[in-house]
């Protein structure tokens, strides 16, 4: 299982590097072509917008990988470590449910795009360009479910040890 997880993480990292590199090359080429040759690739700007979407959402998957996503931590100093674990578990579970809800509705949206045969640009089906939305939110939701379970287990062990010390 750990080997599979490392392979998935490596694929995510490779996708980020390839996307960012391709974006830099494509955007630079577009700038040079427009400024020096008064020519531009019509498909480059829409592709760059799609690539930004993909890069941002794959980046969010990577950031949520180790619970390293953006956090607003206002109350942690007011609670003890055990209570903080319980709060973190609930926050992670809430995050997971929100992400899974977005993934569910995103999948419905992709189904509509597929059914209506919408075209994004250059003859590419819109659903193919937008499929990253439900996929990324589903992956983030699953990761936060696992994070919540891990924190919950840690809380349980910690509270079990503390209650054992009290007896």
- Please name the residues in contact with 100: beta carbons below 8 A apart, sequence gap of 6 or more: 137, 138, 141, 142
Contacts for 2 with CB less than 8 Å, ≥ 6 apart: none
pLDDT at position 107 is 97
d(C-alpha 99, C-alpha 141), whole Å: 5
Mean pLDDT of the chain, nearest integer: 88
Q: What pLDDT is recorded for position 129? A: 94
* Band of pLDDT at residue 85, cut at 50, 70 and 90: confident
Predicted local confidence at residue 104, as pLDDT: 98
**Which has more confidence, 98 or 69?**
98
Tens of pLDDT along 104-154?
Answer: 999 999 999 999 999 988 889 999 999 999 999 999 999 999 999 988 888
Alpha carbon distance 73, 137 (integer Å): 22
pLDDT of residue 167: 47
Q: Which two tokens stand for residue 137?
A: 């939110």
Say how many domains are in the chain: 1
**pTM: predicted TM-score of the whole model, two decimal places:** 0.85
Which of 60-69, 75-84, 87-96, 105-114 has the least mean pLDDT? 75-84
Segments forming the whole domain that contains residue 158:
2-166
Q: What sign results for the dihedral spanned by CA atoms 151, 156, 161, 167?
A: positive
């Amino acid at each position: 299982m750990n080997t599979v997880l490392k392979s998935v993480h490596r694929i995510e990292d490779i996708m980020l590097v390839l996307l960012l590199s391709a974006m830099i090359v494509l955007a630079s080429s577009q700038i040079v072509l427009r400024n020096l040759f008064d020519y531009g690739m019509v498909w480059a700007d829409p592709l760059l917008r799609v690539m930004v979407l993909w890069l941002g959402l794959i980046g969010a998957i990577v950031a949520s990988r180790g619970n390293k996503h953006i956090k607003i931590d206002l109350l942690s100093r007011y609670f003890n470590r055990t209570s903080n674990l319980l709060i973190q578990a609930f926050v992670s579970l809430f995050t997971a449910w929100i992400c899974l809800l977005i993934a569910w509705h995103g999948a419905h949206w992709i189904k509509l795009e597929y059914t209506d045969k919408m075209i994004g640009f250059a003859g590419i089906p819109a659903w193919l360009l937008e499929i990253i939305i439900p996929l990324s939110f589903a992956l983030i939701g699953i990761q936060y479910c696992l994070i919540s379970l891990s924190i919950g287990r840690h809380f349980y062990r910690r509270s079990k040890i503390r209650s054992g010390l009290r007896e």
